[in-house]
Structure 1
Amino acid sequence: MNSYFIDGLAFITPLDYEPGIKLSGQVMAQHRIPLNLALLACHRQHHDVTVDLTDVHYLSESALDILVTTAHTLPPPGSLTLTAPPELNIPERLAAHGWPPTTNLRLAHV
């Protein structure tokens, strides 16, 4: 990904240190298209993609669904790693929806 997205709620930018994107602010259902486009752009260039959620204050269920769906559609050996603070409760939210981490979806805590 070589561009960014910004609106009054969220900011999506490429990571500087590894293939992936950094999300900031409040990521909601209305960000489905720019989030999908950013993930697709990263995956076209790299098998493994990181999504840095450390500056996300709110992650809607639909935004989490986009991330999980993307991870599950990556062909092996591709993977999506979510780097998230404990406040987002990603493991609990994944379990509540029956979305267990797989080889395509990895969790990294800050």
Structure 2
Amino acid sequence: MDLLYADELLEIRPTVAPYGLALSGDVDASNQAALARCLLSLNGTGADLTVDLHEVRFISFPALHVLVAFAHALEPGRRLVLRTGAPMVGRMLTACGWDELPGLHMTVMEEDSDA
């Protein structure tokens, strides 16, 4: 898939199945506005949006808040689904009480241990 955004730290690609974005690298203050723009560019459909964080090495609290704010602004019945292999993202959401938002759903998927 084509890149929607790339800098020295982060690459953002659109995904089709599931519909959304795949992030790779580090998400911080230097690129969180680009993340917001990419999310907004996909907001035209009535579908849930998935953000795959499996290849994210670091995400700052303000960058995570970009995801949470986007989820909060979705129309009723829509969700932002965060997929990650890092339980730390879930702990960050829980520490802020963001795990209770109705428009946000997180799935922690373990990495394959067969490798």
Normalising to structure 1: TM-score of the pair?
A: 0.89
Give deviations 1:63-95, integer Å, cap 9, x for gaps. Answer: 1000011101111111100001125x1221112
Greater percentage in helix: 1
Residue 39 (structure 1) aligns with: 39
Measured in 2, the distance between the counterparts of 1:24 and 1:3 equals 11
Structure 2: 5+ residue runs without aligned partners? 110-115
Secondary structure of the residue aligned to 1:81 is strand
Residue number in structure 2 paired with 1:99: 98
Question: Residue 50 of structure 1 aligns with which residue?
Answer: 50
| Corresponding pairs, count | 108
Cα RMSD, aligned residues only: 1.5
Percent of aligned pairs sharing the same letter: 32
Q: Is the 8 A contact 1:79 1:104 kept in 2?
A: yes
Give the aligned partner of residue 85 of structure 1. 85
- SS at the partner of 2:11? strand
| Structure 2 SS opposite 1:71 | helix
Please identify runs of 4+ aligned residues in structure 1 that moved more than 6 A: none
Measure the CA separation in 1 of the matches of 2:61 and 2:77: 26
For 1:8, what is the secondary structure of its paired residue?
coil
CA distance in 2, matches of 1:83, 1:109: 6
Retained in 2: the 8 A contact 1:10–1:24?
yes
Per the TM alignment, residue 3 of structure 1 is displaced from its structure 2 partner at its CA by 5.0
The structure having more radius of gyration, on CA atoms, is 2
SS in 1 for 2:30: helix
Q: Secondary structure at the match of 1:44?
A: coil
- CA drift of 1:57 comes to 0.4
* 2-structure distance, mates of 1:46, 1:33: 23
Structure-1 residue corresponding to 2:112 = none
